Amino acid sequence: MGKKIQDSDLYFSRNSSRFTLAEDLDAGQEAMIDKAQTYLPKEVKESDKAYDIRLKRTPFYPGFSDCLDYLTAALFRRDVMLGPDASQAQQEFSENVDLHGNNLSVFARKVFRSAEKHAISYVLVDYPDLPEGLSLADERSMNSRPYWRMITAPSLFFLHVGTVAGQEMPLEIRFFEQTVTVNEYEQTETKTIRRFIQEITDGKPSGVSWELWQQDEKDKGKYNMIRPGRLFPMKRIPLVPVYTEQDGFMRGRWRLEHCARLNVTHWQSSSDQRNILRVTRCPILAHAGFLADPAATIEISPNTHQGSSKPDAKMWWVEHSGAAIGAGQTDLDNLERHMAQIGKSMALRKSGSITATESSITSAQAQSELQAHGKSLKDALENCFVLNEEWQNSGDKPCSVIVNTDFGILESDPGNNTLLLSSAQGGKLSTRTYLSELKRRNLLADDVDIDDELERIKIEQAGNWLDQGNDESSDGDEKQIGFLK
């Protein structure tokens, strides 16, 4: 079964801090405040009271979450669908893949966002735990069938991989899950661990056993095994990785780490900015020659008057120049732009003043990166359907899955858009192709129908022609608008 990997060597253990950072940033301001000492350290000699005041005045900008949402929205601009080779049973399955009412596209969207957030996500193709001895007919009469579960990278805390019969596969996995117990008065959630072990016979995968471990009620750091079982007739652990960028078997490279680190930097800079605004908005009243006792205080209000018998006494306001405020705001603006650009550069062509060569190279890199993520998702979903068939042996062939990988060139290169327009106006490009290109580049809404638009253009041009005094139709009239066909 290969060499046993120690916990300290596990990819998941090494990256647990990254997973925690991603979770905290995506959870928002409350989670960041709970971990404030980690992400917003207290200044040297800063009192607890002053730190607490500064913390409560520090707003949180969700740049990391926005980046996740941007990438997910780009890929799921069109729903994930099954290919034309899907059977009726597979189509029905795609309407509720997780037994929670989520269709294929909704489930895939959640899995993909989790993969972008943590560098990788997983789908466990599971099956209801049925009594032993049931026949296939019995199972079908109970409407039993496979279902998919998303396993996030932070919850999969143990992974042992090895090579069996020339194929790399997981030999053991352990992940956290929640078990809900309902009694007459309340509903309680208990943390459990599910463990899958690959069985090997004569050097080949022969089956999968599983164990369910429950957290001890008294000792929360201890787990007790409460139930064992086997995944019959499954011969391998039915876990499918969803990569964004692969960094080894069942491992992913975190492409959004830079964005996450920038988001923490932004929160720290925002704290400095809010603090300096609080200080500089309040001018300091200075005076000379008023009090013989430096320790004495004076009252400052609209209803009081200050006076002194000393002829050289004076009083004045000291105000900040504001230069530091502008520098701080510039820093925040730059960080926000940088975070937003990370998502765009992965999905679409970068904007800005660049040469034609740079534009071409950048476009290819930017579009291909998210396209690769989409193709990885497509492969994972198709592998899930393969595992479906291994569970139920229905005779259906694994079907293809269609994932949108055409993101257009949104708001990126106005020069190209101008070239399209001039080509259409010069007769080098049909109006249909021009409109199709605009739609592909996300410059037209999804619900815009090209045929309807062409018909409207015909009607408008015909109306304009009549308004100019030409109230008789002819073959020539048709030629004037015939290029729209």
* Tens-digit pLDDT profile for residues 9-45: 445 556 678 899 999 999 999 999 999 989 998 888 8
Q: Are residues 289 and 301 in the same domain?
A: yes
Helices 104-118 and 16-27, axial angle in degrees (round to 10): 120
Comparing CA positions, the residue from 470, 468, 414 lying closest to residue 443 is 414
Does residue 457 belong to any structural domain of this protein?
Answer: yes
Q: Are 67 and 73 in contact (CB under 8 A)?
A: no
Cα–Cα distances (Å) from 296 to 92, 291, 293, 299, 316, in that order, read 83, 7, 5, 10, 18
Domain of residue 340: give its range: 1-154+249-280+323-408
pLDDT of residue 140: 58
| Domain tally, the chain | 3
283: how many CB neighbours lie within 10 A of its CB? Answer: 11
Give tens-digit pLDDT for 130-141: 656 555 555 555
* Distance, CA of 169 to CA of 239 (rounded, Å): 9
Q: Are residues 345 and 390 in the same domain?
A: yes
pLDDT confidence band for 482 (50 / 70 / 90)? very low
Q: Are residues 341 and 367 in the same domain?
A: yes
* Distance, CA of 226 to CA of 215 (rounded, Å): 10
Asked if the peptide bond before residue 233 counts as cis, ω within 30 degrees of 0, the response is yes
Q: Are residues 34 and 131 in the same domain?
A: yes
What percent of the chain has pLDDT above 90? 38
Does residue 384 belong to any structural domain of this protein?
Answer: yes
> % helix / strand / coil in the chain, to the nearest 5?
45, 20, 35
Q: Are residues 256 and 404 in the same domain?
A: yes
Does residue 213 belong to any structural domain of this protein?
Answer: no
Q: Are residues 109 and 46 in the same domain?
A: yes
Give tens-digit pLDDT for 139-189: 555 668 999 999 999 999 899 999 999 999 999 999 998 877 777 677 777
Q: Are residues 309 and 353 in the same domain?
A: no
Q: Are residues 25 and 148 in the same domain?
A: yes
Q: Are residues 5 and 119 in the same domain?
A: yes
Q: Are residues 398 and 360 in the same domain?
A: yes
